[in-house]
Amino acid sequence: MTTLAANKPAYDGQALDLTGKSGARAFKNTLATVLITLAFVLAMIPLIWILWTVVSKGYHLLFDANWWSQSQRGITVRREGGGAYHAIMGTLIMGLITAVIAVPIAILGAIYLVEYGKGTRLARAVSFMIDILTGVPSIVAALFIYAVWITIFGFNRVGFAVSLSLVLLMLPVVLRSTEEMLKLVPDELREASYALGVPKWKTILKVVVPTAFGGIITGVMLGLARVMGETAPLLILVGYSKNINLNPFDGFMGALPTMINQDRTELALQPAADRVWAAALTLILLVLALNLLARLVARFSAVKSK
């Protein structure tokens, strides 16, 4: 005891302070905080500017019940009236078809890359092709579907062809986001399931996917937001119709991006300008509503911790 007491360092009754910062460290910390805050503010300025411009110029028509229940049939660019029902339904139908095709393929592809194909040549090839597909412009995807759907098979320009081209744009977004979410699932959960004798496919279905479900849904919504505002596939693969057409396999269809494109050349006319801004705001609200719905689904479907 005497030896330990003799070797114990003396601090003169004062506690050792390890929380203080030197002058240089405090300056660097403050500088980094200021720069990060400034970068955030600079990034928010154009976003707020765009939102304010669209909302201030487009909210008037959204309070009109006809905007949500009527089409633009018989309405010219110089005439007021009509609504966006045909465009809203066309956008939702083509987006739904795109999601039905792209989401299962993307999720299954991500599961293969993370759970089954680690380090294999096929997995590297798939990953490489997804990287290439990520950078494909929307007009190139539309031209590819045009060459296959119309030139080779001889089908007509319809809404379903647009959905096929949008699948090529949505697929890499959903697959990459799902892949990252699956990688974040702790390996301990998989190993605990295997230790209980649960087969791998059931572990993926009952443990891995539910754990990453919230992130997967977020990726799906990002993919939908990516494709619902595309205009090039609509211009190439289906004509714009002012009438209500709910059949994606027959005839031209309206959509919010092509409705905006229809009136944008006549922005000097107030009725056309009002419809352009209102359609843009409707598209933003539509994407926002889908994101809120996805968050609710993810919240109520998430795995509950005991």
pLDDT for residue 135: 87
The number of C-alpha atoms within 13 Å of 54 and in the hemisphere containing its C-beta is 16
In a domain, 8, yes or no: no
177 contacts 219 by C-beta, under 8 angstroms: yes
Residues 255 and 280 sit within 8 Å (Cβ to Cβ):
no
Instruction: Indicate if 48 and 112 belong to the same structural domain.
Output: no
Q: What is the pTM of this model?
A: 0.83
Q: Let me know whether 181 and 245 are in one domain.
A: yes
Q: Residue 3: is its pLDDT beyond 90?
A: no
79 and 157 in a common domain:
yes
**39 and 107 part of one domain:** no
**Quick check: is 4 in a domain?**
no
Residue 168 has pLDDT above 50, yes or no: yes
Boundary-marking domain end, from 63, 84, 115: 63
- Residue range of the domain that includes 28: 23-63
Residues 55 and 96 in one domain: no
Whole-number pLDDT of residue 239: 86
Per-residue pLDDT at 302: 60
Q: Are residues 38 and 162 in the same domain?
A: no
Final residue before a domain boundary, out of 63, 84, 118: 63
Residue 226 lies in a domain: yes
In the DSSP assignment, the letter for residue 155 is: -
Query: What are the pLDDT digits (tens) for 117-163?
Result: 887 899 899 889 998 988 889 999 999 999 999 999 999 999 999 99
From 63, 83, 113, the end of a domain falls on: 63
Q: Per-residue pLDDT for 225 more than 70?
A: yes
Same domain, 119 and 42: no
Residue bearing the bigger pLDDT, 38 or 8? 38
Which tokens hold the place of 199?
């087969």
More confident call, 170 vs 10 = 170
Our CA angle for 145, 147, 151, nearest 5°, is 125
Q: What pLDDT band is residue 106 in, cutting at 50, 70 and 90?
A: very high
pLDDT band for position 1 (cuts 50, 70, 90): very low
Task: Please state the domain count of the chain.
Answer: 2
| Each residue's pLDDT tens digit, 21-45 | 567 888 889 999 999 999 999 999 9
Do both 192 and 45 map to the same domain? Answer: no
In-domain check, residue 11: no
> Six-digit token pair at 299?
């919240």
DSSP characters for 237-264?
A: HS---SS----TTSS----HHHHHHHHG
Residues 70 and 85: their CA atoms lie apart, in Å, by: 5
Asked whether residue 92 is assigned to any structural domain, the reply reads yes
Q: Where residue 97 sits, what CATH number does that domain have?
A: 1.10.3720.10
Indicate whether 32 and 76 sit together in one domain: no
pLDDT band at 82 (very low <50, low <70, confident <90, very high): confident
107 within a domain of the structure (yes/no):
yes
Are 44 and 152 members of one domain? no
Same domain flag for 88 and 230: yes
Whether pLDDT at 169 is above 80? yes
27 or 79, which is more confident: 27
- Determine, yes or no, domain membership for 218: yes
pLDDT, residue 96, reads 94
Q: Is the pLDDT of residue 218 over 90?
A: no
Average of per-residue pLDDT values in the chain: 86
Residues 78 and 59 in one domain: no
User: Could you tell me if 165 and 237 are in contact, meaning their C-beta atoms sit under 8 angstroms apart?
Assistant: yes
For residue 10, being part of any structural domain is answered with: no
